[in-house]
Structure 1
Amino acid sequence: MPVAAACPIALRAFERERLKNMAYSHKIEYRLRVRAQIVLHAARGRSNARIAREMGLHLDTVRRWRSRFAERGLGGLRDRARSGRPPAFTPLQVAEVKALACRLPAETGVPLSRWSCPELAREAVARGIATFVSASTVCRWLADDALKPWQHRSWIFITDPDFQPRAERVLDLYARTWDGVPLDEDEYVISADEKTSIQARCRCHPTLAPGQARAMRVNHTYGRGGALAYLAAYDVHRATVFGRCESRTGIEPFMNLVAQVMSVEPYASAKRVFWIVDNGSSHRGKKAADRLTAAFPNAVMVHTPVHGSWLNQVEIYFSVVQRKVVSPNDFTDLTEVGDRLRAFEDRYNATAQPFQWKFTTSDLDDLLARLDRHTADHPEESSLRLAA
């Protein structure tokens, strides 16, 4: 009997490039790599028998994927849909479980703060949605719609009536502008705050350095060696940090930090030095601003809005300190904590670059506009906001 001729394969440029990526990538499934190699060999005009012999495959395998590519292109290299066994759950049952996951447990009378997959599976059986369903099945259903009821995020309404003008002043200073006028070369912007309660936890056994296939090990048991407050002032545009350790926070420790900065150049002889602070008790309100100006006439205090500490760039520096200095906490005493913090300041100031702050007044306008649209669509939340 005559042998059927092999399907001719002619590749376009993008198909050849995609097949090469599939054939030689180690991130692609092995079976897809083999199929791509079959097509590339066929595109060179080789016979099915030769391809099967050189690749160590069965002749029918080569013939199948060559013909499928000729019929459907790159999509023909994927496995065809298989019927599989009949579904054990109806679409209605799946929808009811997803609807249950989208309700707070308290609304259903269940004494839980949030759902987990095992709890959802048990509740579905208790409600008669299904006679039996496993937690893994529920997890798979939720993954189809990217539902994760076991997670939560916190949020807060803007309660400061002067939020926008206060935030704009801070953002303008980051852009080196004050009241619409660019800052001079001898005007500086300082971001300051306190990081409270840095503990000295002396571990009962020494910390072990990481090794082959082993992370660093820190003993869980520790003795308390007290706590201190770390006050820092960050020059926004020069990326310079001034810090000090105090036994507590308050007006006097904060003014000590101010004096530490304002007593050195270029701040001592500067035209103006803007101090961006939040509304903490150490520097809250007009009294704090007047106190600062009385001590240093060229200093200007600028407050962030209430619940707007995220606008204070020194918080970014504190996050760096938390990751690189404080965690994991293993210090013999508070003296070691202070020495480590001061040494890190020197190390940081030697190589630091200003933070790439990208949130501008235009972004602020967009954010507030989105919040206004949200409250307009949910008037019940707006009434709660006013009541608060």
Structure 2
Amino acid sequence: MGRGRRDKVHLTVEQREKLEQISRNGYSPAKKILHARILLMCDEGEQGTKKWTDEEIAQALQVHRNTVGRIRQRFLLKGEKPALERCLRRATPTQRKTPPTAPKVDGATEAHIIALCCSDPPSGRADWTIRLLTRELKKRTIVTEISRETVRRTFKKNQLRPWKTQRFCIPERDLARFVSQMEVILDLYSQLHSEDEPLINMDEASVQLTGHVYEPLEMEPNHDKKEDYHYTREGVQALFMFFDPNRGWRRVSNRDHRTRVDWAEEVRQLLDVDYPQARKVKLVCDNLNTHNIASLYEAFPAPEAHRLARRLEIYHTPRNGSWLNVAEIELSILSKQCLARRIPTSEQLKLELLNWQQERNHSASKVIWQFSTLDARVKLQHLYPVFQEEESVSSNATF
């Protein structure tokens, strides 16, 4: 047996199960997990397990050999709980004589800090900062002396984040129309769609073309990429995103404008080029005034517009309900992966969009929609004009 194994540790089945649970859960303090692993490796009671020496345990867990010996001796002399917990340091004689100091922020002062933080910031400032709030507390003589760290701890304790603002979108006043259109879209997502009648989501966006005034300095080892703050404006391009969430296919194109004619031409390409074999295409889009059958008749002769309209079935998302259109997810990914840089010309933008589109289509990234109509009636119950009491009563009567 190696050096340092003077006393043997024999764990019971219950003790070993408890120590194994502590070492695996990931929620216990780091020192407690370390001590549990040391005791498990010191155990010699279980048959068929490797007998570790103190030096081997110390090398495996990257601790000193004396630490392993102290944990083992503490377990043998005092038991399991003292061996797992950290040993508290003894107070010095000076510390024993010193009375405990009163907290710098009592309940009244903390209430003043919370009230001031939740109020409007001074004129000319967008929000409260820790430095500004500390200065304001002294200015109003709420406290005579306080540090920024004390204010920061008060923020953290009460979960105050004056620099953060969460935005919300209130649905339109006609709630009945909102929930009716929402349930149509949700039912559409829950259905199965064949190749003969595919489901396509469509959305639009705009992107600013910008160029460099001075050529940027490329990244090198120990040096980040550098570019000048100034840039040139080269115009705006309209983006048209068509996305098949079930097939994992998307097409994105750029145009100079986003008129009715532009939308009609994009729809004709969708029907005749992208899905020529489809009998009918179910198109989900927002309530923009160009997204309707009338745009087809403005762009093409009546026979051509009628032919396209017979193969198109349009579903509009409700007002202030664009989150129901999964094409917005693809536009967000496009902005982060491809458009988060300076692109000077429409030709280069077209090439970059084509390369991004080919890569995404090759991976066939899909969207699996989980939010159903029944979920909406529970989580968005406040949007329904009539409370669903009758339905719940009838369901209980069935049982």
User: Aligning the two structures, in what range does the TM-score lie when normalised by the shorter sequence?
Assistant: 0.7 to 0.9
1:356 aligns with 2:368: yes
- Computed over aligned residues only, the root mean square deviation of the Cα atoms, in angstroms, reads 4.0
Percent identity, aligned pairs only? 20
1:270 to 273, 278, 286: 278
Distance 1:81 1:100 in 2: 41
Distance 2:171 2:330 in 1: 25
In the alignment, what sits opposite 2:348?
A: 336
Cα offset, 1:70, TM superposition: 1.4
- Structure 1 unaligned regions, length at least 5: 1-5, 177-181, 374-388
Figure out how many residues of one structure are paired with residues of the other and give that number. 349
Cα offset, 1:33, TM superposition: 7.2
1:306 aligns with 2:319: yes
* Alpha-carbon distance change, 260 to 68 in structure 1, aligned in 2, over 3 angstroms: farther
TM-score scaled by length of structure 2: 0.72
Kindly provide the amino acid, as one letter, of the partner of residue 168 in structure 1: E
Cα offset, 1:219, TM superposition: 4.0
**CA offset digits 1:257-303 (Å, max 9, x no partner):** 1011111263x34232111111224326x855987974421201111
2:155 to 138, 142, 155: 142
* Alpha-carbon distance change, 20 to 174 in structure 1, aligned in 2, over 3 angstroms: closer
In the alignment, what sits opposite 1:72?
A: 81
In the alignment, what sits opposite 2:101?
A: 86
In the alignment, what sits opposite 2:270?
A: 261
Moved more, 303-312 or 31-40: 31-40
Cα offset, 1:359, TM superposition: 2.0
* Alpha-carbon distance change, 148 to 78 in structure 1, aligned in 2, over 3 angstroms: farther
Write out aligned runs for 1:222-261 (5 A).
Answer: 222-261=231-270
* Alpha-carbon distance change, 113 to 241 in structure 1, aligned in 2, over 3 angstroms: same
Contact between 1:207 and 1:216, CA under 8 Å: does it hold in 2?
yes
Question: SS state of the match for residue 362, structure 1?
Answer: helix
1:220 to 229, 237, 240: 229
Distance 1:255 1:238 in 2: 23
Write out aligned runs for 1:156-171 (5 A).
Answer: 156-159=169-172, 161=174, 162-171=177-186
* Alpha-carbon distance change, 265 to 119 in structure 1, aligned in 2, over 3 angstroms: closer
Question: SS state of the match for residue 20, structure 2?
Answer: helix
In the alignment, what sits opposite 2:199?
A: 189
Contact between 2:261 and 2:295, CA under 8 Å: does it hold in 1?
no
* Alpha-carbon distance change, 227 to 44 in structure 1, aligned in 2, over 3 angstroms: same
1:321 aligns with 2:321: no
1:153 aligns with 2:161: no
Moved more, 242-251 or 291-300: 291-300
* Alpha-carbon distance change, 92 to 201 in structure 1, aligned in 2, over 3 angstroms: same
1:174 aligns with 2:182: no
Question: SS state of the match for residue 336, structure 1?
Answer: helix
Distance 2:332 2:258 in 1: 19
Contact between 1:42 and 1:66, CA under 8 Å: does it hold in 2?
no
Cα offset, 1:32, TM superposition: 5.7
Cα offset, 1:239, TM superposition: 2.0
Contact between 2:284 and 2:315, CA under 8 Å: does it hold in 1?
yes
Moved more, 221-230 or 316-325: 221-230
TM-score scaled by length of structure 1: 0.74
Question: SS state of the match for residue 187, structure 1?
Answer: coil
Cα offset, 1:183, TM superposition: 4.8
In the alignment, what sits opposite 2:3?
A: none
1:17 aligns with 2:26: no
In the alignment, what sits opposite 2:119?
A: 104
Distance 2:284 2:90 in 1: 61
Distance 1:289 1:75 in 2: 75
**CA offset digits 1:6-50 (Å, max 9, x no partner):** 99774512343257669xx9x975x667755764576559xxxx9
Distance 2:329 2:158 in 1: 34
- Structure 2 unaligned regions, length at least 5: 1-6, 46-52, 59-63, 300-304, 386-399
* Alpha-carbon distance change, 190 to 37 in structure 1, aligned in 2, over 3 angstroms: closer
Contact between 2:241 and 2:327, CA under 8 Å: does it hold in 1?
yes
In the alignment, what sits opposite 1:380?
A: none
